[in-house]
Structure 1
Amino acid sequence: MTVAPLTDLPLWPPTNLDRDPLVPLDAGERRRFAGPVTRVRLPTDATAWLVTRHADVRQMLRHPGFSADLTRPGFPLLRRIAPGAFGDRRGGFIRMDGAEHARLRRMLTAEFMIRNVRRIEPLIRQTVDRALDELHAAGPPADLVAHVALPVPSMVICHLLGVPYADHDFFQERSRTLIDRDAPPERVQRHVRELRDYLHRLVEAKVATGERADDLLSRLARDRVDAGDLAVDELVGMAVLLLIAGHETTANMIGLSTLLLLRHPARYAALRDDPGHADGLVDELLRYLSIVRTGLPRLATEDVEIGGQLIRAGEGAIAVLSLANRDGATFDRPDEFDPYRAAQHHVAFGFGVHQCIGQPLARAELRIALVELARRFPRLRPAATAGRLPTRDSSVVYGLDALPVTW
């Protein structure tokens, strides 16, 4: 078999920064990357297999022959990192496999079940109402990202975990460093250490006082750490993961979803007039926008055939969720935004054992935020053209840095 020179392989992720912020890839990039499993070059000069079709992505993400552990030799990293750059990884189950992953994930499953999320919907609604009050007081015009998209999920996850929201600037800055592919390695190391130290002090205080607070970290400290089922360092790692994932993803979805809906005024008005349809709308927004655009990297631990391509043990593969969610074999008219389509089979939250555990919370926050925004600001419109909106192109979680709006 002839192996193509490294320089002949297409670079993933692509570096075109001029595309519409609502379009994961432009037409040329779609032709280059979408379709059968293909080999690509990574920014680290390593290679990996790009998996883009919906059925192939689901097969790959549920197959036990692929590891999520980024410390394994050959793991397809999208940036160069020094050994140990992410510090103590205990508790960060998103990058664990098998029994180790399952043990920690089981401790959180009940917390994020739909019935538990429904119980906190009044809290989410109050948080959204306060944020919309702030938006109204700040403008028009005002930045929807700064006043709504960022604070709503941040306040909610702080409340659930028992983390002081007053410290949100500290952990937001550090969490953004951790998911920024262009962040210097030394800054990544420093911010990981600072975030873990902060949460370690918080967790140790909860363990030491045995406080009866009803937040998640206090409950885990009482029920799991005291019983010897969970080490303090593991709880700290879980807290890091939940704090970052609990606000970064939903914040970016709120901003991008608002921009998309404002381009479709009839859809925005329907959200206000028919809020009962909001659940279906949220699924279509998740499918259409797919904010984890660089994909989910994995390492093959055994030979696996995906989409007719043999991926050998030790080779990297990347499941591209945004392209899987635009696969015409699964979704009719995939490039059309249709809030009335049945989009529940999207893979925006991943698939398989590592599927996002917090998706019921994310769905509730997105639904409530958008319905209340449409209700209170029926004449909302962008105050800047899409081409001038600052986007987070180097982030693992894509989004807008700002969305000026008026009404």
Structure 2
Amino acid sequence: MAAQIQLPLDPPHPARPQSNLRALQKRAPVHRVSTGAGDPAWLVTGYQEIKVLLADPRLGRSHPDPANAARSGDSALLDGPRGDYATEHQWIATMRTRLQPFFSAGQVKAMRPGVEAVTRGLLDRMAEAGPPADLAGALALPLPREVIGDLLGVPAEERGLLEEWTTAVSDTGDRQRSTAGLVDLHRYGLDLVTRKRARPGRDVISGLCQDGTLADDEVAQLAMGVLFAGYETTAAALSIGTALLLDDRDQWEALRADPGASPLVAEESVRVASRLLRPVVRYAREDVEVAGVTLGRGELVMLDIYAANHDESIFSDPDGFDSVRADNPHLCFGFGLRYCIGAPLARLELQVAFSQLVRRFPHMRMTTPAGGLTARPASFAALPTSIPVTW
């Protein structure tokens, strides 16, 4: 059957819901589409269907014929097949086993003083520079970059290059730039592994090097995976959360009165941040039946987490930003087999950032409405190009 629906449906925006996607979601939970790269795919928009498929081992990131696999776009890392088809499940198990100890509850709790210090330092610099300021450039982008940099043991003076390369990798419209960024990122990862083997520190890469069972290439792959996963998605949640809080004075004042509510604000920010992120890419390893539709072996399946997180059957007022939403079973961190190992750290960063921000700048306000913000184009995360504020 020929694809009738052309993606993307709506341009992502920090403050506007995707109305065309909502209309599509109401028609059915699974749709035949043509991707931005012109390839056929299945787009899944129902919450329950996406939750089941996220945990289904019959879907993966690898493909038996990667050179001819359908793609969602031109990002070398995010829009097409990745990994070895024969060993994908084994590699996932290895990855989780090796990385889980660095993100345990005890380890993340021990990271809190460091995250608080980084946040405080960023806010100090913003205060010293004085208003106006760009909250995206002053806090939302550098906080996850610095935290992940500390975690991996990346020298401070080299972290700007990592941001440059991760931005290039996520470019969905320029395959050459994305591929070059991926090569640069992996080459840097290997160089860092070599340095850590010679002079280990108290960081994730040094710990992985000491494991004894991982080759340099595998350590670099794990480390750069942590870097990429821990940067843009956290930055997206912090960007959109602060923007929408500042756009609704009542919610800003409520958090100011009770900074202890920051965990709820963080969770809602993660849910709403899915409007800035592209659908999750998977390939069917065998025929999979879902909602009366057969996803054929080798076909591209796109799981629209934004649609899931705004499903009216699960969330009340799904298009609204409710900073005290108590029932919030969003799927931004995945579900089942591939649930995000770094979710506890992302939550910690967001909670610390929101609670410190309202205390330090109680009278902060945006100088443009959230609806006037612009989003970074052709990227995995359509982050706001700036969040102009004053105080």
Does 347-356 or 187-196 show the bigger shift?
Answer: 187-196
CA shift, 1:351, in A, is 1.6
Q: Distance in 1 between matches of 2:189 and 2:340?
A: 22
CA displacement 1:314-353 (0-9 Å, x = unmatched): 2221110011011111122222322333344110112221
CA displacement 1:163-196 (0-9 Å, x = unmatched): 01211221101101111202x3222222222222
1:10 aligns with 2:5: yes
1:69 aligns with 2:59: no
Q: Distance in 1 between matches of 2:352 and 2:342?
A: 16
Correspondence for 1:143: 134
What amino acid is the match of 2:180?
R
What amino acid is the match of 2:141?
L
* Aligned pairs (5 A) from 1:185-334: 185-209=175-199, 211=200, 213-222=201-210, 224=211, 227=212, 229-291=213-275, 293-334=277-318
CA displacement 1:383-403 (0-9 Å, x = unmatched): 224354231232112321211
CA shift, 1:88, in A, is 10
Q: Does structure 1 retain, via aligned residues, the 8 Å contact 2:21–2:307?
A: no
Q: Distance in 2 between matches of 1:70 and 1:105?
A: 21
Q: Distance in 1 between matches of 2:222 and 2:145?
A: 16
In structure 1, the residue corresponding to 2:151 is in which secondary structure? helix
1:402 aligns with 2:390: no
Q: Distance in 2 between matches of 1:81 and 1:400?
A: 20
CA shift, 1:24, in A, is 4.2
Correspondence for 1:130: 121
Q: Distance in 2 between matches of 1:370 and 1:22?
A: 18
1:108 aligns with 2:99: yes
Q: Does structure 1 retain, via aligned residues, the 8 Å contact 2:162–2:185?
A: yes
1:164 aligns with 2:170: no
What amino acid is the match of 1:102?
A
Q: Distance in 2 between matches of 1:137 and 1:309?
A: 58
Change (3 A) 1:345 1:47: same
Given the alignment, which residue of 333, 357, 375 partners 1:391? 375
Correspondence for 2:73: 79
Unaligned residue ranges in structure 1 (runs of 5+):
none
Correspondence for 1:370: 354
In structure 2, the residue corresponding to 1:330 is in which secondary structure? coil
Q: Does structure 2 retain, via aligned residues, the 8 Å contact 1:286–1:348?
A: yes
What amino acid is the match of 2:239?
G
Q: Distance in 2 between matches of 1:89 and 1:28?
A: 33
Aligned residues: 388
* CA RMSD, Structure 1 to Structure 2 (Å): 2.5
Q: Does structure 1 retain, via aligned residues, the 8 Å contact 2:39–2:72?
A: no
Does 44-53 or 358-367 show the bigger shift?
Answer: 44-53
Q: Does structure 2 retain, via aligned residues, the 8 Å contact 1:68–1:96?
A: no
Q: Does structure 2 retain, via aligned residues, the 8 Å contact 1:37–1:50?
A: yes
CA displacement 1:96-116 (0-9 Å, x = unmatched): 731221112210012112221
Q: Distance in 1 between matches of 2:56 and 2:367?
A: 46
Correspondence for 1:54: 47
What amino acid is the match of 2:71?
L
In structure 2, the residue corresponding to 1:314 is in which secondary structure? coil
Q: Distance in 2 between matches of 1:338 and 1:358?
A: 24
What amino acid is the match of 1:214?
R
CA shift, 1:76, in A, is 4.1
1:31 aligns with 2:26: no
Given the alignment, which residue of 31, 34, 38 partners 1:41? 34
* Aligned pairs (5 A) from 1:87-102: 97-102=88-93
Change (3 A) 1:81 1:249: closer
Q: Distance in 2 between matches of 1:87 and 1:398?
A: 22
Q: Distance in 2 between matches of 1:404 and 1:178?
A: 27
Q: TM-score, normalised by structure 1?
A: 0.88
Q: Distance in 1 between matches of 2:216 and 2:82?
A: 12
Change (3 A) 1:369 1:357: same
Unaligned residue ranges in structure 2 (runs of 5+):
none
In structure 1, the residue corresponding to 2:6 is in which secondary structure? coil
CA displacement 1:357-392 (0-9 Å, x = unmatched): 111000000111011101111111112243542312
1:178 aligns with 2:162: no
Q: Does structure 2 retain, via aligned residues, the 8 Å contact 1:301–1:314?
A: yes
CA shift, 1:87, in A, is 12
Q: TM-score, normalised by structure 2?
A: 0.92
What amino acid is the match of 1:192?
L
Q: Does structure 2 retain, via aligned residues, the 8 Å contact 1:300–1:315?
A: yes
In structure 1, the residue corresponding to 2:322 is in which secondary structure? coil
In structure 2, the residue corresponding to 1:290 is in which secondary structure? helix
Does 292-301 or 51-60 show the bigger shift?
Answer: 292-301
Given the alignment, which residue of 104, 117, 132 partners 2:108? 117
Q: Distance in 1 between matches of 2:264 and 2:148?
A: 24
Q: Distance in 2 between matches of 1:39 and 1:11?
A: 9
CA shift, 1:20, in A, is 4.8
What amino acid is the match of 1:193?
V
CA displacement 1:15-70 (0-9 Å, x = unmatched): x44x7522341x23421355321111112221111111110001111111111126
Change (3 A) 1:70 1:161: farther
Identity of aligned residues (%): 34
